[in-house]
């Protein structure tokens, strides 16, 4: 059961990329990290990496697929029995929502670089693309993206809230993206709903996401001015930022924030990017370790993970 002297953190998608680095850094600070992965083999391999870094006492593995209700329920049950409390939940797992015939989604990388450069002080080196392939937005991939990046976060969060309520400093960090910043949204209705902070509700955010999926399925992306590139990813992260605000208002004794970790070299973007996964994780960890009474309901993005709000 819960050890009063230990802080417990759960990280989704902890088997690689930014998630693995988040686990490593939190564990290095003496926090008990539960590294989760949807795939047991990949999760246990990641655990081995951290064990070899001398962190074996600080990291455990737990299978968790954020789109699988049974997996979430089993994880909560196991967590309740083994640890009895959760202090920090890092919703990091995510997918880009594109299909393609190349390993490097060139147009996504280019658009992301433009967005990042426009909104930050991070110096971005010139792009050296290794291939010139294309990626395709299919409805199936877009729907999966929404279900992972938005509904997955919601389901995991709701399931773990009772364990977080047992903490004296409950903290939730949603790893989002500048791609979800409202300046990138063109659909007027979605923009109006998501930018009306005072009127935001879980239902209104869900409504935007559902309208987007219907438009996508029925071929109205262009007509209704949804962006024409990585649209599901952008909508999922915009909705995630809005949900973060709704949740922060509901749980005023929690610290709940979202952030963009920066454009980092991971598998998600063919390992292009301005910063390393380690640097991106440092930003996430700073937000995860905000002191009690710190900001809540914010979207952070700058090189210190503290500047630009919505």
Ligand X SMILES: NC(=O)c1ccc[n+]([C@@H]2O[C@H](COP(=O)([O-])OP(=O)(O)OC[C@H]3O[C@@H](n4cnc5c(N)ncnc54)[C@H](OP(=O)(O)O)[C@@H]3O)[C@@H](O)[C@H]2O)c1
Known catalytic residues are 233
125: Cβ contacts below 8 Å, ≥ 6 apart: 274
Q: How many residues does the chain have?
A: 310
Q: Which stretch in 13-21, 188-196, 220-228, 242-250 sits in contact with ligand X by CB under 6 A?
A: 13-21
DSSP letter string over 130-165? S----EE--HHHHHHHHIIIIIIHHHHHHHHHHHHT
Is residue 93 a contact residue for ligand X (CB under 6 A)?
Answer: yes
- Out of 47, 75, 172, 175, the only residue in the binding site for ligand X (CB under 6 A) is 175
CA 61 from centroid of its chain's CA atoms: 19
CB atoms within 10 A of CB 238: 29
Q: Based on CB atoms, which residue is closest to ligand X, 128 or 252? A: 128
256 phi/psi in degrees, rounded to 5? -130, 115
Q: Based on CB atoms, which residue is closest to ligand X, 172 or 175? A: 175
Angle CA 134–93–212, to nearest 5: 60
> Which burial class, exposed, middle or buried, applies to 309 when counting CB atoms under 10 A from its CB (0-12, 13-18, 19+)?
exposed
Q: Which stretch in 12-20, 26-34, 220-228, 298-306 sits in contact with ligand X by CB under 6 A?
A: 12-20
Is residue 18 a contact residue for ligand X (CB under 6 A)?
Answer: yes
Tell me 166's DSSP state. Answer: T
- Out of 29, 42, 130, 217, the only residue in the binding site for ligand X (CB under 6 A) is 42
Q: Which stretch in 36-44, 129-137, 206-214, 295-303 sits in contact with ligand X by CB under 6 A?
A: 36-44
Q: 108 with 178: CB under 8 angstroms?
A: no
8 phi/psi in degrees, rounded to 5? -105, 130
- Out of 7, 10, 19, 208, the only residue in the binding site for ligand X (CB under 6 A) is 19
Q: 292 with 169: CB under 8 angstroms?
A: yes
Is residue 268 a contact residue for ligand X (CB under 6 A)?
Answer: yes
Q: Based on CB atoms, which residue is closest to ligand X, 7 or 181? A: 181
Q: Could you tell me how many residues of this chain bind ligand X (CB under 6 A)?
A: 30
Q: Which stretch in 63-71, 78-86, 97-105, 249-257 sits in contact with ligand X by CB under 6 A?
A: 63-71
Q: Which of 145, 41, 242, 30 is nearest to 15 (CA)?
A: 41
Q: Closest approach of Cβ 92 to ligand X, in Å?
A: 5
Is residue 40 a contact residue for ligand X (CB under 6 A)?
Answer: no
Q: Closest approach of Cβ 144 to ligand X, in Å?
A: 8
- Out of 15, 25, 241, 257, the only residue in the binding site for ligand X (CB under 6 A) is 15
Is residue 13 a contact residue for ligand X (CB under 6 A)?
Answer: yes
Is residue 270 a contact residue for ligand X (CB under 6 A)?
Answer: no
Q: Based on CB atoms, which residue is closest to ligand X, 109 or 255? A: 109
CA end-to-end span of the chain, whole Å? Answer: 39
Tokens 């709000």, residue located: 309
Binding residues (CB under 6 A) for ligand X: these are 12-13, 15-19, 38-39, 42, 65-67, 92-95, 148, 152, 175, 177, 260-261, 263-264, 266-269, 273
């Amino acid at each position: 059961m819960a050890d009063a002297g230990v802080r417990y953190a759960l990280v989704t998608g902890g088997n690689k990329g930014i998630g693995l680095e988040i686990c490593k850094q939190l564990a290095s600070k003496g926090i008990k990290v539960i590294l989760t992965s949807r795939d047991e083999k990949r999760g246990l391999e990641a655990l081995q990496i951290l064990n070899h870094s001398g962190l074996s006492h600080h990291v455990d593995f737990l299978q968790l697929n954020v789109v699988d209700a049974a997996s979430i329920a089993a994880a909560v049950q196991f967590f309740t029995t083994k640890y009895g409390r959760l202090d920090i939940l890092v919703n990091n797992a995510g997918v880009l929502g594109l299909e393609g015939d190349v390993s490097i989604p060139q147009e996504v990388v280019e658009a992301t670089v433009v967005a990042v450069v426009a909104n930050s002080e991070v110096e971005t080196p010139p792009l050296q693309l290794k291939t010139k392939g294309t990626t395709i937005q299919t409805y199936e991939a877009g729907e999966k993206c929404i279900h992972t990046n938005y509904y997955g976060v919601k389901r995991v969060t709701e399931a773990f809230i009772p364990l977080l309520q047992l903490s004296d400093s409950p903290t939730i960090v949603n790893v989002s993206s500048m791609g979800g910043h409202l300046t990138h949204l063109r659909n007027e209705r979605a923009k109006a709903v998501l930018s009306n902070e005072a009127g935001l509700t879980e239902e209104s955010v869900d409504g935007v996401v559902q309208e987007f999926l219907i438009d996508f399925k029925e071929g109205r992306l262009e007509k209704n001015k949804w962006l024409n590139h990585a649209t599901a990813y952008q909508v999922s992260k915009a909705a995630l930022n809005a949900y973060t605000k709704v949740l922060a208002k509901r749980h005023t004794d929690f610290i709940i924030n979202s952030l963009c970790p920066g454009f980092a070299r991971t598998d998600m973007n063919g390992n292009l990017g301005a910063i390393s996964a380690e640097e991106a994780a440092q930003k996430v960890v700073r937000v995860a370790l905000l002191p009690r009474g710190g900001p809540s309901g914010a979207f952070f993005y700058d090189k210190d993970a503290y500047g630009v709000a919505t």
